[in-house]
A and B are shown apart, each in its own frame.
Chain A
Amino acid sequence: MSESATESRRLSTRQVARFVARGFLRFDGLVDETLNREFIEEFEAGPPPPPPAGTPLSQAYAEGSAQHRLLQVPEVRGVIQSLLGSDPLFDHHFYHVTHGSDSRSQYLHQDSTIDTRTAFDLQLFYFPHAVRADMGGTRLVPGSHLRVVHESSIARYQNVLGQERIICPAGTLLACHHGLWHGGGRNASGRRRIMFKVRLNPAEPQVRLWDVSDLEAENLGPKPLFVPDDGEDVQSILCQGQPWFEDDTRRLEFMNRVRLWRYLLGDERADAHYWMTRVENVPR
């Protein structure tokens, strides 16, 4: 994916901070109607087989295929480049299809296996048609991506306060951290539901790959604590809790977000609301 091949619209600093905090970014109706329709037609005709895992993304899909054109949408390219770099590795893709007569939904789970890296994979969830409430949609748990659990070991959590079901217009894209808890919803609508998921691995350090032109304007240094602010600056975004967080664990969540933010920023001194600096202070 050379820069000249097509336009790329990279993420802003605050969008990246929201990804760090929530574990996903959502873009409603991002892909246009023509490509959505052609993507479905390609699926129905029998899509090209996937390449081997580890293939550079630039070589993964045949030019002209709907799969390839999806990943060339400027905003999609921008998300990939902002979080993974210029030519990440293709891991796998899968068409998740339900046919509208489900009596069960998928258990809540985290994909793959225990993964203790700070580096992360990106999972793109693409919905080529509108998803109505009775079609189940994908549900996900915002802010769950940094919890170290093992795949379906979390299936016991039937419902989590703040869980979101993706009811969306056609062409919606989710960009998810690999650790985000999710599951397919029950589709009893009588209508087919298609969700295309692509997993990509970074092939370079994920440091300052987004549009950092707005970074200088952010106050990333220490700030007065417990003083109300507008909640939209980077540090406040990193310290926004979720309704399902335990009272104590939420503070550990903030600290783990800071660890991820430090990795992305390439700055081991970075912090949010002093959570890490306080416990790292060892006077000498």
Chain B
Amino acid sequence: MRHRQQVLILYLGNSALDSRVVSWALYDGTGNTNRPPGDEDEPPYATGLDALKDGWRLIQLSQLHPAPPGGELTVSYQRYECVFERLVDPGGAAP
């Protein structure tokens, strides 16, 4: 059986994995689902920890870096990015 990767990216309210989800994205390597940007108003999980409890594996967590001198007040990209994966049977049910 050749499994496919599904990638879930959650952006959290702070650096704790059990903090609330504020933004999210899902990419489905099975091709079974199509998620146009902007179509969902509620996140798939309330927190990053909830995704772990549902079987997603955390493969990357954003590092904590001090702001560069002079840029301490700059706001830019979402800070707390968590990348999860799970491997699924392409013939199985969509997530």
Chain A residues close to B by CB (< 8 Å): 103-108, 139, 146-149, 153-161, 163, 165, 183, 185-186, 243-249, 252-253, 255-256
17 A–B contacts from the bound complex (CB under 8 Å)? A147-B75, A147-B77, A154-B77, A155-B37, A157-B11, A159-B24, A159-B43, A161-B43, A186-B36, A186-B38, A244-B78, A246-B79, A248-B79, A249-B75, A252-B73, A255-B73, A256-B73
Which single member of B38, B73, B79 contacts A108 (CB below 8 Å)?
Answer: B38
Given contacts A245-B22, A247-B19, A249-B79, contact A158 B37 (CB under 8 A): yes
Cβ-closest 7 pairs across A and B: A158-B25, A105-B36, A244-B22, A139-B38, A160-B23, A159-B40, A247-B14
Cβ B75 vs Cβ A105 within 8 A: no
Q: Which of B39-70 contact A (CB under 8 A)?
A: 39-41, 43
Chain B residues within CB distance 8 Å of chain A:
9, 11-14, 19, 21-26, 34-41, 43, 73-80
Among B21, B26, B77, the one with the most A-chain Cβ atoms within 10 Å of its Cβ is B77
A246-B13, A247-B13 known; A157 vs B23 contact (CB < 8 Å): yes
Choose among A147, A159, A165 the residue that contacts B76 (Cβ–Cβ < 8 A): A147
CA of A139 to CA of B78, assembled, Å? 18
The CA of A158 and the CA of B19, in the complex, are separated in Å by 19
> Do the beta carbons of A104 and B36 come within 8 Å of each other?
yes
CA distance A185 to B19 in the complex (A): 29
Chain B residue numbers with a CB within 8 Å of A244 are 22-23, 78
Q: Let me know if B79 and A159 touch, CB within 8 A.
A: no
Task: For B22, list chain A residues within 8 Å (CB).
Answer: 160-161, 243-246
- Complex CA gap A245/B12 in Å reads 9
**B77 adjacent to A149 (CB under 8 Å):** yes
* Chain B residues with CB below 8 A from A104, complex form: 36
Interface centre among B14, B34, B41 (most CB of A within 10 A): B41
Chain A residues with CB under 8 Å of B13's CB are 246-247
